Amino acid sequence: MRTLNFAALAVVIAVAAVLLGPLRAADAKPGTDDYPAKLKNARQDALVDPWLFYNRQCTSFVAWRLNNDNGVDFDNYYGGIRWSNASNWKNAATKVGVKVDNVPVVGAVAWWAAGTPGSSRGHVAWVMDVTSNGIVIEEYNWAKVGGYGTRTLAKNDSKYPSGFIHVSDLAIANVNKPTLAGTAQVGAKLTAGTGTWTPGDATISYKWAANGKLIPGATKKTFTLTADQLGQTVRARVIASKPGLDNVVAKTPLTAAVQPGVFKTTATPTISGTPQVGQTLTASTGTWSPAGSYSYQWRAAGKEIAGATEAGYSPMAGDVGKKLTVRVTSTLAGYTSATSTSTATAAVKEGAFERETGPAITGTAQVGQVLTASPGTWTPPGAYAYQWYLGNVAIAGATKATYTPKPADIGKRIKVSVTVTAAGYTSVAETSVRTTAVVPGVLTQVTAPAITGTAQIGHTLTATAGTWSPKATTTLQWLVDGVAVKNATGATFSPRPADVGKQISLRVQASRDGYTTRAVTSPATAAVRLGVIENLAEPTLSGKPVVGKRLQANPGRWSVASAEIKYQWFLGGKPVAGATASSYIPTKAERVRVRVTISKPGYQTTKAKAGMRIFKGELRFETRPKLTGRAQVYKLLRVHPDNIPGRGERIKVRWLRDGKPIPHAHRLVYRVRVADEGHRIRAEVTARRKGWIPTVRYSRLTVPTRPAV
């Protein structure tokens, strides 16, 4: 892409002026190859164009568009610096303050830097159109050397321009102002004129505004005024737009303040129906333009009927003999209210009941069940009075809509008479069809019978009879494996030994006057288990634990009475043959034990034991130990335990003060201490021998101490 040097500048300008002559803006036609013929037909680079670029170069074509389409006096020295090759245009534009960015606009210059996918040496083109996802460009010297071409490039195309130079972008212009036609009145239609725009292919859209504020959704050429615009001035904003160009807005003239709309009526209201008490009269609104909201006021003999403000009206007793009219008022936001009155009806006549269905009884004819009277269907609905009958005899006090048969009613049929009354109507009485004969009631089980407690010998089971509706009298019968237990009709039952392994259940019979007796059986318990005998006090042995002396076994205490008790004695850990009585005389100095076995029908057998050591004999002092010495502080007392027969005894002595052991005083000799003054002193002597029962004796006398002299 060649550009001219300074040395040849003057010559080139002169030559170009002579050879090319004047080039006019009218020659420009974007989208076609309208590059000046003198430049196009010459060999590339053979001429210098009027803008000081070589002909048939991309820079020459863009200069042609900027001059003839954008109306800019652009040349190679625009802004006082040389623009030169296409690759330098961004730098030149930046230096002279021309905006360069990445935003495409119709009439902008698309620019490619050298060495990019779009151009190896740099390139410029003219933006002909901007789409939602790309651009359309016109150019020279790209697809064909020195030739014209157009391209559409997407934004994500690798050959998309490096940037856009905004020398002087094209703009939309309003040539003739938009106009406004129509009447400024609610309900009237306003129409906006488009006006005249350049370019002529700009897209036109509309936005209507009232008192300067946009009206939501009002975006068409026409707009029908609503109550929201009452008292406001209205105009349309006409917007011209074209991709790549800034939108331009022109406004229509303002309307005068919008006036209320006026209703038009082509038919007056009418009344349809029969003017009779109980019949419904219906008012038609008549025909209104536009349609509004309607309110009604009925009149009788020219006077307003209080509360009669609906489209329908049923004549009342007070209307009999009078003629009725209805006045309809039409209202609509933004419109002046209007009224219209119907012609009068004939005089209102008295009403009469109409029956669609007669009285009927629902429910079951059974004691305790509620029978309900349906009054039937009457037009109009009235007040209903009831009288129930048993056969043909009125039941005293049975004057409600429901009746519950009693035991005395069993076998009889019931009917009900309904009397209908209403103001302005003749009363009517009608009787229902009779029911079937009343049958006894059915007791309903609310909660089931149940058994609580443990199914085991020695435990008591408790019956819960359950509850019934209505309340009933209940009797109980206990069952073992489904068989009734004689006389077992109480609230509790204790399983018997014969019941072990069997299941217990409870049969409950419920009865009430006028009702069928019912019997139900509770779920069975688990199989009855053997009882458990609990030991309340362990067995004990009494008697001297000495060879040859009789020992007596106490069996202890147990949780059951009348149990069978058996004994077995053991000596040295071995059972003694035949020793099964409650007493026993040991024959050896070994450990003796008795096993007590408790048993009772229906209970698990239980065992317990007691034992003790058996001694060869019992040691004895022939006389009490002798005490000698002086009962005086610091004096010695001596005990003499040498009066024990036999050999091998071990003697232990403890001295006691007023019956309590004296610390560290356990020898045969004791020295009286100061602390002993005024107290009684005695000696405790214990004799022990292996295999014998130890013996303990005390000194014969207690010796009071006395102060030392």
CB of 312 within 8 A of CB of 238? no
Q: Contact at 8 Å (CB) between 255 and 184?
A: yes
Residues 602/528, Cβ–Cβ less than 8 Å: no
- Residue 550 makes CB contacts below 8 A (sequence gap 6+) with 543, 583, 584, 585
From residue 350, alpha-carbon distances to 278, 294, 312 in Å are: 8, 30, 18
Q: Which tens digits make up the pLDDT trace of 136-186?
A: 999 999 999 999 999 999 999 999 999 999 998 777 778 789 999 999 999
Instruction: Give the Cα separation of 263 and 601 in Å (integer).
Output: 110
What mean pLDDT is predicted for residues 185-204? 87
- Residue 446 is predicted with a pLDDT of 94
Residue 424 pLDDT: 80
Per DSSP bridges, beta strands 281-284 and 312-313 are: antiparallel
Rounded to an integer, the average pLDDT of 469-488 is 95
Tell me how far apart the alpha carbons of residues 642 and 655 are, in angstroms, rounded to a whole number: 17
pLDDT score recorded for residue 280: 93
**What sign does the dihedral 474-478-482-486 (CA atoms) show?**
negative
Minimal CA–CA distance to 252: which of 317, 310, 190?
A: 190
Q: Given pLDDT bands bounded at 50, 70 and 90, which one contains residue 350?
A: confident
The burial class, CB within 10 Å (0-12 / 13-18 / 19+), for 2 is: middle
Local confidence band at 704 (pLDDT 50, 70, 90 cut-offs): low
Return the CA Rg of the chain: 66
More confident residue, 416 or 616: 416
pLDDT for res 28: 45
Specify burial of residue 459 (Cβ count, 10 A radius: 0-12, 13-18, 19+): middle
DSSP class per residue in 554-604: E--EESSSS-EEEEEEEETTEEPTT--SSEE---SSSEEEEEEEEE-TTEE
List residues bridging with 420 in a β-sheet: 384, 428
pLDDT in tens, 306-333: 999 999 999 998 998 999 999 999 999 9
Which comes out higher in pLDDT, residue 632 or 83?
83
Backbone torsions φ then ψ of 695, nearest 5 degrees: -130, 145
Amino acid 29: pLDDT: 57
The pLDDT assigned to 30 comes to 64
Residue 609 has pLDDT above 90, yes or no: yes
Residues β-bridged to residue 174? 197
pLDDT for 125 beyond 90: yes
Question: Smallest Cα–Cα separation from 691: which of 572, 611, 588?
Answer: 588
pTM over 0.95: no
- Cβ distance 547 to 618 under 8 Å? no
pLDDT digits (tens, 9 = 90+) for 385-412: 999 999 999 999 999 999 999 999 999 9
pLDDT band at 25 (very low <50, low <70, confident <90, very high): very low
Task: Give the phi and the psi of residue 78 in degrees, each rounded to 5.
Answer: -60, 130
Say which residue the tokens 């863009």 belong to: 62
Distance of CA 302 to the CA centre of its chain: 60
Least confident residue range of 231-235, 357-361, 522-526, 688-692: 688-692
State the Cα–Cα distance between residues 704 and 631, nearest whole angstrom.
Answer: 7
- pLDDT band at 417, cuts 50/70/90? very high
Distance between the two ends of the chain, CA-based, in angstroms?
155
Q: What is the pLDDT of residue 562?
A: 86
CA 426 to chain centre: 57
- pLDDT tens digits, residue range 37-69? 999 999 999 999 999 999 999 999 999 999 998
pLDDT surpasses 60 at 22: no
More confident position, 687 or 322: 322
Which pLDDT score is estimated for 11? 38
Classify the C-alpha dihedral 69-71-76-78 as positive or negative. Answer: negative
DSSP-assigned letter for residue 108: P
* 23-27, 114-118, 404-408: segment of lowest average pLDDT: 23-27
Q: Is the pLDDT of residue 414 over 90?
A: yes
State the chain's mean pLDDT as an integer: 89
Closest among 302, 388, 403, 311 to 345, alpha carbons compared? 302
d(CA 426, CA 184): 61
26 secondary structure, DSSP code = G
pLDDT in tens, 255-287: 999 999 999 888 999 999 999 888 999 999 999
Burial of 490 (0-12, 13-18, 19+ CB in 10 A): exposed
Q: How far apart are CA 586 and CA 575, in angstroms?
A: 12
pLDDT of residue 620: 80
Q: What percent of the chain has pLDDT over 70?
A: 93
Please tell me the distance from the alpha carbon of residue 55 to that of residue 418, in angstroms, as a whole number: 114
Q: Among residues 52, 45, 58, 108, which one has the least CA distance to residue 87?
A: 58
| Close Cβ partners of 133 (under 8 Å, ≥ 6 residues apart) | 154, 155
Domains and CATH numbers, the chain: 6-166 (3.90.1720.10), 173-251 (2.60.40.2700), 261-341 (2.60.40.2700), 354-441 (2.60.40.2700), 443-521 (2.60.40.2700), 531-617 (2.60.40.2700), 619-704 (2.60.40.2700)
- Residue 700: the pLDDT is 58
| Distance from the Cα of residue 600 to its chain's centroid | 63
